[in-house]
């Protein structure tokens, strides 16, 4: 068995901070001089093969978004798998941003395949508890994790996630379910369960209440940077020791350069260091 997933997270944050680098490959944003005559998927893989070791020097986690790979068909999925493999080989913790959630044998099949390539996965719970059960079962041994979508960062999230239900909103009802699942999957020595939650940085007024509703869950916070979320607003998600949350940024780090710039390695490294520094200033000791 591998080391406990939550212990790995805690140690990673203590050593390198809570930054998560999103991997969302866009062909138009790749360095123009990198394998310009190659097929798109080959250029994507060449990009990550060069930059993942740079990321691993400073950060502990990456979050590849499978949609940006799957858009290229079977070859794109193969590059997703290889990107995950290279990231893990570099010592990075991989959160597969796959947002799967289905019922019965379908959910079982998703869980079986995607946990082959990532240490943790994003899942959505809106088909009910049986849609996440196969993922939760695979977290029971402690070496894998899930992040259940609770309150997302997109503008239209309010249309459904903020609908009133008995006891609060729909997203708060999901948060209570996550808290129950986190209790069922025993927390590790750091007090956190491998059952975490996705809570968008753009819903800053919600972060404190979700922290209270899910005290044993790691909170994965997307939406910083291009989507309008600010690093300092994420402080509410951390506990008093600086643990309990992971903050993700994609475009602000990985697309911080113009395609024709030659020093794109240096630009990405500088942007990542700046992101990590912001987190250490604003989020080390919580709000």
Q: Which residues are catalytic?
A: 99
| DSSP-based three-state secondary structure for 58 | coil
Contacts of 202 (CB under 8 A, 6+ apart): 153, 223, 227, 228, 229
Q: What share of the chain is helix, strand, coil (3-state, %, to 5)?
A: 45, 20, 35
Q: What is the DSSP letter of 234?
A: G
Q: Is 133 left (phi over 0), alpha (psi -120 to 50) or beta?
A: alpha
The H or E element that residue 198 is part of is strand 193-199
Burial of 74 (0-12, 13-18, 19+ CB in 10 A): exposed
Contacts of 179 (CB under 8 A, 6+ apart): 213, 214, 215, 216, 217
- Beta-carbon count within 10 A of 99 CB: 16
Nearest to 214 by CA among 253, 265, 173: 173
């Amino acid at each position: 068995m591998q080391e406990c997933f939550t212990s790995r997270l805690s140690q990673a944050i203590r050593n390198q901070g809570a930054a998560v680098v999103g991997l969302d490959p866009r062909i138009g944003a790749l360095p123009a001089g990198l394998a310009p005559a190659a097929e798109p998927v080959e250029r994507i893989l060449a990009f990550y093969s060069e930059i993942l070791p740079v990321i691993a020097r400073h950060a502990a986690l990456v979050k590849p978004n499978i949609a940006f790979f799957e858009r290229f068909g079977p070859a794109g999925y193969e590059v997703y798998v290889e990107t995950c493999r290279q990231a893990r080989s570099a010592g990075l913790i991989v959160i597969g941003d796959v947002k799967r959630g289905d019922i019965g044998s379908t959910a079982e099949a998703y869980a079986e395949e995607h946990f082959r390539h990532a240490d943790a996965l994003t899942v959505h719970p809106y088909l009910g508890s049986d849609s996440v059960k196969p993922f939760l079962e695979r977290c029971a041994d402690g070496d894998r994790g899930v992040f259940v979508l609770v309150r997302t960062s997109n503008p239209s999230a309010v249309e459904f996630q903020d609908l009133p239900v008995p006891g609060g909103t729909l997203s708060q009802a999901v948060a209570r379910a996550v808290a129950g699942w986190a209790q069922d999957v025993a927390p590790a020595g750091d007090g956190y369960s491998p059952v975490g939650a996705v809570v968008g940085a753009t819903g800053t007024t919600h972060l404190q209440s979700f922290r209270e509703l899910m005290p044993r869950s790691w909170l994965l916070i997307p939406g910083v940077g291009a989507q309008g979320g600010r690093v300092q607003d994420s402080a509410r998600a951390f506990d008093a020791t600086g643990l309990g949350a992971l903050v993700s940024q994609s475009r602000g780090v990985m697309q911080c350069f113009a395609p024709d710039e030659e020093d794109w390695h240096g630009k990405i490294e500088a942007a990542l260091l700046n992101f990590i520094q912001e987190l250490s200033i604003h989020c080390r000791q919580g709000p």
